[in-house]
Chains A and B, each alone.
Chain A
Amino acid sequence: MSDRHPSAKTTQLISRGAALCLLGLAIAYGIGGSVIEYAFASDPLGPRVFPVALAVILGLLTTWYFFSPGTAEGFPTGRLLWRVLGIPVLLVVSVLLFEPAGFAISIFVLTLGTALIFEAPLKKALLGAIGHAALWWFIFSFVLEVYLPTGALFGH
């Protein structure tokens, strides 16, 4: 299960890790903002000042956050962590299939995988995935006439 009430030490570790990541982002963003190339600007500020100011503000706030971390929810552990991470992985696979294999197959894979991650029995997961793929295909392609790729398998 998710560690909903992590220890103070874990909370500090998570928060300080997040603060350091944000500080790195502030520095990178500030440097990136200060070297934006432009030919002209019709206002006194130009395109660089606002991003650099934001980077400075983020840097200051992050320093405050580092020394006063507050509470964090904490990450899931063990098998649950792998199941949770399975959702974005499954989405990546499904999106990679989206144009080559088509909407229906891609959505079938996504919904079947997600149902299994949520511990649905295989038969119900299969039926649910077929139902999802057919329902959404019908609603979007025929009722709402939204373009969705049919994939190489179906000749597009």
Chain B
Amino acid sequence: MSFDYLWHGFAVALTWQNLLIGFIGCFIGTMVGALPAIGPINGIALLMPIAYTMGLPAESTMILLAAVYCGAEYGGRISSILLNVPGDAGAVMTAMDGYPMAKQGRAGEALALSGISSFIGGILGTLGLALFAPMLSGLAIGFGPAEYFVLMIFAFATLGSMVGSQPVKTLIGCVLGLMLATVGLDATSGAYRFTFNEPELGDGIEFVVLVIGLFSVSEAMIILEHQGKGVTVIRELGRMTARWADVVKTTGATLRGSLIGFVVGVLPGTGASVSSAVSYTTEKRISDTEGTFGKGDVRGLAAPEAANNATACGAFVPMLTLGVPGSGTTAVMLGALMLYNIQPGPMLLTERPEVVGGLIASLFVGNFILLALNLPLVNIFARVLTVPNWLLVPGILVLSVIGVYSTHASVFSIFLMLGIGFVGWLMRKAGFDMAPIILGFVLGRVMEVNLRNALAISGGELSILFSSTICNVLWVMAAAVAILPFYLSRRSKRRIAAALATAE
């Protein structure tokens, strides 16, 4: 296994321009993460078109977006600890022990300790990414169109069974994304599909338009609905450094959280919310012998923080090696690569080592920048929490309009974004998650093209989809991840019912 790509990546990431871009990304990401109203996916959706319009090369754009992503995972802890309101989904469990610590006058300690855990989780996750990316890439190099098609089926099956508590809605979201991806010119036959004679739809729905519509416009409406819930910021931070004894006490929790976070991150469809919950409950089972979890135990703070940062890095593994995003945020980043006409997949490491290597190297560098930013400057980030929504939301809307207009110079695109945003809001009200739509959209064209290529090779014989060992293994895995959760859920319900019957 060669790590040449990584050394090449460090040469890219350590140029002064990319260091500056990484620093800016880390700063913005931490602020985005700290704000309860918006998460990493919103921040990346808003920055992606701007970076593209500025003419940044692909590797610099990926460095910027990765820095925002990781920064947001660090920043999410700030509002969790000071407000008891998670800044993003991955920081939900951080509040369990972080907020009680803050109420005990140890907010500064909680912020410092969680910053260190985030750093360790981020670095270990990046190490895992650097190790596994070439290995998985090497395995996937033998994939043909049939294998790719079945891989996409596996990714959707994983999503359906893991994202959220309502798999049918997740699957509907994926299908809607796939349907949106069929709009525009079909390159194989030259047919226009679902364009309604609108020339601007000839190239299909632009990714930027869809992402900003779903994650900015609908978000602004949701923020308005949820504002004014009467939360108060804890302003007395106390001691601003972590105690050495606490650092030692949390070492095991941090390492376990990092491992769990990375593994969960690699699986498509799971995210930081799952990994932080798993790591917290695991840690509680292992360490909570005195019943201190939930009352300000430092191990309950460290484990989920390490996990959510490791997850962010793990999610890059399937994205960079297979072209299958591990989370909604990496789906948006995959779309950013496509803006540059870069096709993700196993050949990416060979064909564009500066992009993959630059991104991974920038994660190493970014974690050091984030540690440096988050320990001494945490006071400044805490002040972001006092920015009122009437000032913040107009800024989000302005960036949305400029983002779409600057990429396409078309008012039609902005109207399309508005329409998508409104429908997105209606869907969110009905309990749908937006990330599966993005995943379906990103994978849609690749999925159809691979299916059609596979059938062209076989002369229309569907048996090609079952002809190789890789295909069959992937079918079995897809069936397993689709069926197992239902089976396990039914079994546990039966057991509970039986236990209740016995108790009566």
Q: Do A and B bind each other?
A: yes
Residue of B nearest to A71 (CB): B431
Q: Which residues on B sit within 8 Å (CB–CB) of A70?
A: 165-166, 168-169, 431
Nearest neighbor of A62 in chain B, beta-carbon distance: B172
The answer to whether B221 and A98 touch across the interface, beta carbons within 8 angstroms, is no
Contact B390 A51 (CB under 8 A): no
Tell whether A8 is near chain B: CB-to-CB under 8 Å: no
By a CB distance below 8 angstroms, the chain A residues around B459 are 44
Q: Are B179 and A65 in contact (CB under 8 A)?
A: no
Indicate if the CB atoms of B191 and A36 lie closer than 8 Å.
yes
| Bound complex: CA A45 to CA B54 (Å) | 40
Cα(A118)–Cα(B421), bound, Å? 19
**Interchain CB contact (< 8 A) of B401 among A54, A68, A75, A95:** A95
B415 CB within 8 Å of chain A: yes
Q: Tell me whether B224 and A87 are in contact (CB under 8 A).
A: yes
User: Chain A's nearest CB lies how many Å from the CB of B337?
Assistant: 22
Chain B interfacial residues counted at CB < 8 A: 65
- CB-CB < 8 A to A125: which residues of B? 390
B393 within 8 A of A: yes
State A119–B390 Cα separation when bound (angstroms).
Answer: 7
Q: Among B390, B422, B451, B453, which residue has the most Cβ atoms of chain A within 10 A?
A: B390
Q: Would you call B391 an interface residue if the criterion is a C-beta within 8 Å of the partner chain's C-beta atoms?
A: yes
Which of B175, B191, B401, B453 has a CB less than 8 Å from the CB of A38? B191
Complex CA distance for A29 and B405, rounded to whole angstroms:
29
Pair count A-B, CB < 8 A: 190
Contacts of B399 in A (CB 8 A): 136
Q: Please determine whether B188 and A43 come into contact, CB atoms closer than 8 angstroms.
A: yes
- Check A61 against B402 for contact (C-beta < 8 Å): no
Q: Does A144 contact B172, Cβ atoms closer than 8 Å?
A: no
In the complex the two chains form, what is the Cα distance from A111 to B399 in whole Å? 11
Tell me how far the C-beta of B52 lies from the nearest C-beta in chain A, rounded to whole angstroms: 11
In the complex, the answer to whether A73 meets B429 with C-beta atoms within 8 Å is yes
Task: Report yes or no: A29 in contact with B179, Cβ–Cβ below 8 A.
Answer: yes
Decide: B394 and A132 in contact? CB cutoff 8 A: yes
Chain B residue at minimum C-beta to C-beta distance from A73? B429
B224 shortest CB reach to chain A, Å: 5
Contact with A along B409-431 (1 / 0, CB 8 A): 10100110010011001111111
Closest to A112 in B: B394
B431 near A88 (CB under 8 angstroms)?
A: no
Whether, in the assembled complex, B199 has its beta carbon less than 8 Å from a beta carbon of chain A, the answer is no
Which chain B residues numbered 47 to 85 have a C-beta less than 8 Å away from chain A?
A: 50, 53-54
Complex Cα gap A46–B426 (Å): 34
Q: Are B460 and A65 in contact (CB under 8 A)?
A: no
B398 adjacent to A95 (CB under 8 Å): no
Chain B 78-102: CB-based contact to A (< 8 A → 1; otherwise 0): 0000000000000000000000000
Please tell me if the beta carbons of A65 and B411 are within 8 angstroms of each other in the complex: no
Is the CB of B452 closer than 8 A to any CB of chain A? yes
B394: chain A residues at CB < 8 Å are 110-111, 114-115, 128-129, 132
Write the nearest CB–CB distance from A98 to chain B, whole angstroms. Answer: 6
B418 partner, pick from A44, A51, A64, A88, beta carbons under 8 A: A88
Q: How far is the CB of A7 from chain B (nearest CB, A)?
A: 15
Q: Quick check: is B2 within 8 A (CB to CB) of the other chain? A: no
Interface residues on A, range: 35 or more
Asked if A72 contacts B190 (CB within 8 A), the reply is no
Is B175 a contact of A57 with CB atoms below 8 Å? yes
Q: A58-B172, A70-B169, A95-B411 are in contact. Are A51 and B182 (CB under 8 A)?
A: yes
Q: Is A101 an interface residue (CB 8 A)?
A: no
Do B429 and A50 touch across chains, with their CB atoms under 8 A apart?
A: no
**Complex Cα–Cα for A35 and B210 (A):** 26
Chain A residues within 8 Å of B427, by CB: 18
CB of B455 within 8 A of CB of A76, answer no
Contact with B along A134-156 (1 / 0, CB 8 A): 00100010001011100000000
Cβ 8 A contact of A42, one of B224, B414, B418, B456 = B456
Is the CB–CB distance between A110 and B397 below 8 Å?
yes
Interface membership of chain A positions 66-99, coded 1 if the CB is closer than 8 angstroms to chain B and 0 otherwise: 0010111111100010011001100110110011
Q: Judge whether A32 is part of the interface by a CB distance below 8 angstroms.
A: yes
Q: Tell me the smallest distance from the CB of B297 to a CB of chain A, in Å.
A: 30
Q: Which residues of B contact A50 (CB under 8 A)?
A: 182, 448, 451-452
**Pairwise interchain contact A18-B455, C-beta atoms closer than 8 A:** no
Task: Assess the A115–B391 pair: CB atoms within 8 A.
Answer: yes
Residues of A within 8 A of B409 (CB): 147
Please indicate the chain A residues that have their CB under 8 angstroms from the CB of B281 in the complex. Answer: none
Q: A142 to chain B: closest CB distance in Å?
A: 13
The answer for the CA separation of A41 and B187 in the assembled complex, in Å, is: 10
Chain B residue numbers with a CB within 8 Å of A61 are 168, 171-172, 175
In the complex, the chain B residue whose C-beta lies closest to that of A118 is B390
Task: For B411, give its contact among A2, A32, A98, A114 (CB under 8 Å).
Answer: A98
| Known A29-B179, A61-B171: A74·B429 in contact at CB below 8 Å | yes
For residue B179, which residues in chain A have a CB less than 8 angstroms away from its CB?
29, 51, 54-55, 58
| Cβ-based interface call for B225 (8 A) | yes
For residue A114, which residues in chain B have a CB less than 8 angstroms away from its CB?
220, 390, 393-394, 397
19 new A-B contacts at CB < 8 Å, known A45-B451, A47-B191, A76-B225: A36-B186, A36-B191, A36-B192, A38-B186, A40-B190, A51-B182, A51-B193, A61-B172, A65-B169, A71-B166, A87-B221, A88-B217, A91-B397, A107-B398, A118-B390, A140-B406, A146-B50, A147-B409, A148-B402
* B positions within 8 Å CB-CB of A: 50, 53-54, 165-166, 168-169, 171-172, 175-176, 178-179, 182, 186, 188-194, 217, 220-221, 224-227, 388-391, 393-395, 397-399, 401-402, 405-406, 409, 411, 414-415, 418, 421-422, 425-431, 448, 451-453, 455-456, 459-460
| 8 interchain pairs, CB-CB under 8 A | A18-B427, A41-B188, A45-B460, A70-B169, A88-B418, A95-B401, A115-B394, A128-B391
